[in-house]
Amino acid sequence: MSHSDRSYQIHLDSLLGFAGELQRELGALIRLGGDLDGLRAGSDDLSALGDFVEAHWLMQRHLDALDDMDELVQEVRDTVAFAGDVTIWVAEQYADHDRHIADDFTRLQSRVDAGGYV
């Protein structure tokens, strides 16, 4: 099959549905970030585990893990937001292309109906 024999079909409603799902995922990630902030706020009291070396070490490990999780959630959030933006852009481009083709067919039909040559 040559490159010119390939064709693609895009179902715009499905594509927009996928973009909506990405937006819902993004909302969940934003809520997760808020939950991480809540976990961090509960970590302010270093004496909660006791005042000994292991407790301080454990608390520091907890805070480091929250920092790592925060960074990971932010990266995933950015990636999902980008994927959503690209998906919506692609859907808009296909819809715009479809509108132009429909307009061309309407103009062509008008010429035919008016007795003009095609």
Question: CA triplet 46, 73, 92: central angle to 5 degrees?
Answer: 155
Per residue in 23-39, pLDDT (tens digit) is 888 888 788 777 777 77
CA distances from residue 12 to 80, 86, 88, 96, 99 in whole angstroms, order as listed: 19, 14, 10, 11, 13
Per residue in 73-111, pLDDT (tens digit) is 888 888 888 988 998 899 899 889 999 999 999 998 888
pTM of the model: 0.62
